[in-house]
Amino acid sequence: MAADEIAFAGAARQAEMVRGGEVSPTELVGLHLERIERLDPQLNSFRVVFAEKAMLEAEQAEARIKGGDERPLLGVPIAIKDEVDVVGEINTHGTDAFTEPARADSEVVRRLREAGAIIVGLTLLPELAICGFTESATYGVTRNPWNPQRTPAGSSGGSAAAVAAGLVPIASAGDGAGSIRLPASSCGLFGIKPQRGRVSNAPALEHWNGLAVQGCVSRSVLDSALWLDVISGGSKEQGAPPPPERPFVESAKTAPGKLRVATSTLAPRAVAPPIVGDAVKGAVADAAALLSSLGHDVSRHDPDWGRVGDNITARFLRGVAETVAEVPQPERLERRTRGFGRLGGLLPDAIFERAQKGREEDARRINAIFDDHDVLVTPVMGGTALPVRRWEGRGALYTVLGMSRFYPFCVPWNHLGNPAMSIPLGFAEDGMPLAVQIIGRPESEPLLFSLAAQIESTRPWADNRPPIS
């Protein structure tokens, strides 16, 4: 098999190839390290690459294979978003305001290592994972491999750019306001935000007061299902869901049956009127036609958003303010990041507490759509990937207003906790990837994986490769 075919095969297929002796871990890791060295200068997706250490671990994986080891990701190279603790490494969170190396792996990293994965590097993000674009004063601009003048979105933009360009088959991603789904949509990848509490945030109990969850961006539904099987469980968050009845990989291999599908392009309003472009409206209409052709009952039905935007804004700003307050050397933060902290700090405690308490009523009202429908289809964001430096030099208030208008569709499901996924659905006239978001009722990841796999088999996307590759 040609090197490019191996690089774009995806994590599940690469693991299969390693087990079958089609490729060795040293060959696989070496291939991806060569691609990183050659292509990442154009993208700036990695903060640091562990070339020597990754090759040593690949040699160890080969010895384990000879001993009969069959771990699910044995010998597969992966990348970790630089907001997750990796022992001995400074977790920079996209800034130079941290100086202490992590004393231990996070729970997610520990589980990935136990599964045999080999970490080849840490991917970039905006400062403190706040923004929907991956740019920082410390590490520069991360670019979209489909068009270097466009952003891969954020905050998991480095991971998405790396996977889309075939630098790694899969990479970790975190989602506090769409940070898995927005980069997946922008880069033509699959990304699912799991149910709140599905994955442990340890060593933290929760992040951004429960808005943030851990997951990945990948080339295929099966890849993400395998990743979630590996990392899920062990959460101590209040209301953490029970384990699924069967592995997510099995759900991804099972037909979903006939579903009741609602579609909507109505966005909730936060602090400014939302932007919903014709291209993403067209993607939702395309998804509706596709799902109808697959035998599902499809109808237009808008969620009862109410004033959910008020509660979302309060929770987001308070979470950002608390994150800024925890930075050991805040004077090193960008002016805009410090401004985000001040904005959140101005929020009265009473408004934040009301927003926290309002989540239950918001969930009752909005999730009522699932009384008569199994899933909801919406846009992921207001258009295709934005130009890089869209908000360069702008202050915190201007930036948050702009992001709330262009990225209104994802964050409600962080607020409520429901699982939600971004599924590639072709390309817009500007040549950039299009996607739709599909949301399920609480704890419905098995159904989402099943439906996503059905869509993928009908409209495969994994073979789409950006020009940079």
The one-character DSSP state at 100 is P
pLDDT in tens, 92-116: 999 999 999 999 999 999 999 999 9
Position 314 in a domain: yes
The SS3 assignment for 240 reads coil
pLDDT of 1 reads 82
Side chain identity at residue 315, one-letter code: R
Collect all residues with Cβ–Cβ distance below 8 Å to 67 and sequence separation of at least 6: none
| φ/ψ bin of 46: left (φ > 0), alpha (ψ from -120 to 50), beta (otherwise) | beta
Position 466 in a domain: no
Position 430 in a domain: yes
Question: What's the whole-model pTM score?
Answer: 0.98
The Cα–Cα gap between 282 and 327 comes to 42
Is residue 172 part of the annotated active site? The answer reads no
pLDDT cut 70: percent of the chain above it: 100
Side chain identity at residue 459, one-letter code: R
pLDDT of 175 reads 98
pLDDT of 9 reads 98
pLDDT of 270 reads 72
Position 268 in a domain: yes
Is residue 299 part of the annotated active site? The answer reads no
Strands (E), 27-177: 46-49, 77-81, 118-123, 135-136, 140-141, 170-175
Q: How many domains does the chain have?
A: 1
The one-character DSSP state at 415 is H
Q: Which domain holds residue 418?
A: 3-458
Position 393 in a domain: yes
Query: To the nearest 10°, the Cα dihedral for 207, 87, 419, 454?
Result: 160
Q: What is the CATH number of the domain that holds 313?
A: 3.90.1300.10
pLDDT of 469 reads 66
Is residue 179 part of the annotated active site? The answer reads yes
pLDDT under 50: residue ranges of the chain: none
**Residue 235, phi then psi, degrees to nearest 5:** -75, 140
User: Are 179 and 403 contacting, i.e. CB atoms less than 8 angstroms apart?
Assistant: no
pLDDT of 410 reads 98
Q: Which residue in 179, 224, 404, 450 is the catalytic one?
A: 179
Position 180 in a domain: yes
Instruction: Please name which of 307, 73, 63, 289 lies closest in space to residue 168, comparing C-alpha atoms.
Output: 73
Position 464 in a domain: no
Between the alpha carbon of residue 447 and those of residues 134, 173, 215, 244, 437, the distances in Å are 31, 21, 17, 11, 14
Q: Which residue in 45, 106, 136, 155 is the catalytic one?
A: 155
The Cα–Cα gap between 375 and 369 comes to 9
pLDDT of 100 reads 96
Position 465 in a domain: no
The SS3 assignment for 108 reads helix
